[in-house]
């Protein structure tokens, strides 16, 4: 059988026409996608990492729903090595969006770790993480035995409208900060993990003569966490941790609860940020029996994630660093956009 060779220019033209008929022309070419966005077939994925400031996402033409995966940030360590709670993770599909609508993306920052400095240096409590983390409770005296708490982790969220707290479409909770260490190597209470319903922060370790600070309460999607009670010992009334608020974790207890109270030593961890914030951990009192054993501050409570749309998946205790937000969508062909 004889085969007749098709001239090369004609073959190339046929192949080009075939590829034009098969491959749709998408509304956004890969080189026109915003930074952090990458295509894989018809799916585009945009990843937002922590920057310490609000970011934005513009809904593409023809798109009305997106898949999202948010991770809240972890709480910071209490001095010297009490761990903070991990941030929660939320996965959902956001519907009812408008093409070219701009939404705000806030990626939570991890709570600051408390610094441990011997006298005469002043120890420093961990700062609350970006987007709602509560600050850790400070300690008035330097050294590992008298130590401040870690800051609460910030929430990660997506907002519409005027971008206020009331305009959040979905929120992933941050973890609570770890409590400060008490005297004689008594470790503070660990921070609670962020999740759908929050997790209560761990109680501070008891000293010989009295109790340490109480753990900050975990928040829920409908209410903030209570601050942990302050400990008491040898005339030192530890300060109660701050109650969480809408979007903001409570501060860890610090400074003593009464003007006549002597300096209390181990600060509580800050509450995590979330839809509602977790409560701050209580400050420890002071105990001098049995060789001067001190008390330890309590961990901050984990925040609560938002209830989210139907079939939202929640994973508590999911993230041990800064938060993250991932938005993905199916790209619409330019033909479909023009016909819409």
Tens of pLDDT, residue by residue over 97-124, are 999 999 999 999 999 999 887 767 778 8
The H-or-E segment that residue 2 falls in is none
Query: Cβ–Cβ contacts within 10 Å for residue 119, how many?
Result: 10
Q: Show the DSSP H helices in the chain as ranges.
A: 8-22, 289-292, 334-339
**CA count, 13 A, side-chain hemisphere, 298:** 42
C-alpha of 244 from chain center:
14
**pLDDT at position 233:** 65
**Which has more pLDDT, 221 or 279?**
279
On the question of pLDDT at 217 being above 50, the answer is yes
Q: Collect all residues with Cβ–Cβ distance below 8 Å to 96 and sequence separation of at least 6.
A: 64, 65
Instruction: Look up residue 21 and give its DSSP letter.
Output: H
What value does the CA radius of gyration of the chain take, rounded to a whole number of Å?
Answer: 26
DSSP notation for 77-134: PBTTTBPPPPEEEEEEEE-S--TT-EEEEEPPPPPPPPB---TTSPPBPPPPPTTTPP
**Which has more pLDDT, 35 or 99?**
99
Average pLDDT, integer, range 280-295 = 53
For residue 120, say if its preceding peptide bond is cis, omega within 30 degrees of 0: yes
In total, the chain counts a number of residues equal to 340
pTM here is: 0.82
- Cβ–Cβ < 8 Å for 298, 270: no
């Amino acid at each position: 059988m004889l085969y007749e060779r098709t001239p090369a220019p004609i073959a190339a033209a046929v192949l080009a026409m075939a590829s034009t008929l098969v491959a749709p022309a998408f509304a956004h070419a890969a080189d026109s996608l915003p930074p952090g966005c990458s295509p894989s077939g018809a799916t585009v994925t945009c990843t937002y990492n922590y920057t310490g400031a609000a970011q934005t996402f513009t809904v593409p033409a023809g798109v009305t729903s997106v898949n999202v995966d948010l991770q809240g940030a972890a709480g910071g360590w209490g001095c010297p090595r009490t761990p903070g709670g991990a941030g929660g993770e939320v996965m959902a599909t956001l519907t009812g969006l408008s093409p070219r609508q701009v939404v705000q993306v806030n990626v939570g920052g991890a709570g600051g770790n408390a610094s441990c400095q011997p006298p005469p240096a002043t120890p420093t409590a961990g700062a609350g993480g970006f987007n709602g983390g509560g600050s850790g409770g400070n300690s008035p005296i330097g050294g590992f035995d008298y130590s401040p708490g870690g800051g609460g982790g910030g929430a990660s969220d997506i907002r519409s409208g005027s971008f206020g707290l009331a305009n959040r479409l979905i929120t992933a909770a941050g973890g609570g900060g770890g409590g400060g260490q008490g005297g004689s190597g008594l470790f503070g209470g660990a921070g609670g993990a962020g999740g759908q319903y929050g997790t209560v922060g761990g109680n501070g370790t008891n000293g010989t003569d009295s109790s340490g600070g109480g753990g900050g309460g975990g928040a829920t999607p409908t209410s903030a966490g209570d601050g942990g009670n302050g400990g008491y010992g040898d005339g030192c009334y530890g300060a109660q941790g701050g109650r969480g608020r809408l979007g903001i974790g409570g501060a860890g207890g610090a400074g003593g609860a009464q003007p006549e109270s002597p300096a209390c030593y181990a600060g509580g961890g800050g509450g995590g940020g979330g839809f509602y914030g977790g409560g701050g951990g209580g400050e420890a009192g002071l105990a001098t029996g049995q060789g001067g054993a001190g008390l330890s501050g309590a961990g901050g409570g984990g925040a609560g994630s938002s209830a989210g749309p139907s079939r939202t998946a929640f994973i508590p205790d999911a993230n041990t660093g800064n938060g993250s937000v991932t938005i993905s969508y199916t790209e619409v062909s330019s033909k479909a956009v023009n016909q819409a």
